[in-house]
Structure 1
Amino acid sequence: MAHEEIPGIDPAARPSGDGCAECLAGDGPGWWFHLRRCAACGHIGCCDSSPSQHGTKHAQAAEHPFLTSFEPGESWFWNIETDEYYDGPALPPPASHPTSQPTPGPQGKVPADWQLQLH
């Protein structure tokens, strides 16, 4: 089923990597709970439950209103400006981080008390 064009979603935007760009670069504690993909540019950031919340921070700073899940089996879009879910177009693969990557991740960086550090 074809989706109508939604301003703020670029159906050609490829993911920036397999994990949160900022966490992997050393910004914050370096681990995430779940990953989010910017639907405008493909930036991969961590979710709002993660300690650093890089996904929403990127979306706000870049004025890119739509995030989508970067988790296996999830295909929703979220508009950070309206707090609403949307159906959107298929984005270029991959649609999620590798299934071999643990959640939370990345492997070897998640503290034993990670559940106490969620937002």
Structure 2
Amino acid sequence: MVYGDGSLATVLTHYDVSLPDQATDVRFHDKESLIGSEGTLFLHFKVSDAGLTSFLQTLNVGPLAPGAPAGWDDREGRRFGWSSPDSSWRGARGPAEGTVTAAVAVARADGANSVYVIAEHV
């Protein structure tokens, strides 16, 4: 099931984000900024290890490291059910395509990766 503002395909195109084919349990929220930016995407999905590797390469955020990404701010995400990263999480931050930056936090549970993404236009 997908939750969010607008269609998933339109929102992903706006942020230059491509979901892996194997993504399940996809949920998103597209928050438009009141100060004139082009908004922030909050995206969650579950995926296999192969799908995660492909996603990180496509998003161009670099390798995952222990802990949450630098500057991770998921306060908005927690409003709609996101978990807060703890010491068992892995994270990465970096440029996505074009004018978008992205931060990714990943938790492994029940044989799948639970992936949380915050993407923003800069």
Fold shared per TM-score above 0.5:
no
TM-score, normalised by the number of residues in structure 2: 0.26
TM-score, normalised by the number of residues in structure 1: 0.27
